[in-house]
Amino acid sequence: METVIASLVTSPWLYLVLVLLILSDVYVPVLPSGTTLVLATVYAVTSGETVVPLLVTAAAASTLGDLLAFRLARSGATRVDRLLARSGRLSGADHRLRAMLRRSGARTVLVARFVPAGRCLVVNTGGREPGIRFGDFARWSATAAVCWAAYTVGIGFLNAVVFHTGWLAGAVSVVCLLALGAWFARTGTAEAVRASR
């Protein structure tokens, strides 16, 4: 099994798969983009390769995916707003998230990047908020993408250095990624509740 994983994550097609996963997980958050990046990093380190191309690819694909989704959300804002207006709870949550983005957009986008499905919600809500300019969102997204890529590659790198074996480092890295994502989700949710009061 380890040999199969190693051949997959060291394949030249890895970068294409990684870009497609990261571009797509803005809409399908369950795609294993972070896990794939961690495993690719682990095997790059254990094979003596540099992780810089993985870092650059992940950050660029993440930013591009956000900006494409932002533009798409902006073009469909009226329809989505009408749908959300049918539910008081969804409409209220949408208004609170919009308020957070207007008040502290950079921080909200950064925290959302580490929360499961947070990227999807923030990008689509930001695209529908007329008070948020594309240029501002692009800066916030690029900063968040670099932080996310560095964090994810860093977890894979550290675990590869500590454990010196691909499968164990990969398993520990994925657990770290999920645990820290859950922590960010918890702190981000608490902040949203405080902001709504």
Helix (H) / strand (E) containing 171: helix 166-196
Residue 2's pLDDT is what?
Answer: 56
Using 70 as the pLDDT threshold, list the residues of the chain that sit under it. Answer: 1-10, 77, 80-81, 83-88, 90, 164-174, 176-178, 180-197
Residue 58's pLDDT is what?
Answer: 95
Residues 6+ apart with CB under 8 A from 5: 39, 43, 166, 167, 170
Tell me the backbone φ, ψ of residue 116, rounded to 5 degrees. -55, 125
Residue 195's pLDDT is what?
Answer: 43
Residue 36's pLDDT is what?
Answer: 86
Residue 186's pLDDT is what?
Answer: 65
Q: At what angle do helices 118-128 and 52-75 cross, to 10 degrees?
A: 40
Residue 192's pLDDT is what?
Answer: 45
CA distance 185 to 101: 16
CA distance 148 to 41: 14
Residue 12's pLDDT is what?
Answer: 73
Instruction: Report the residue count for the chain.
Output: 197
Residue 47's pLDDT is what?
Answer: 81
Residue 21's pLDDT is what?
Answer: 93
Residue 137's pLDDT is what?
Answer: 93
Residue 5's pLDDT is what?
Answer: 57
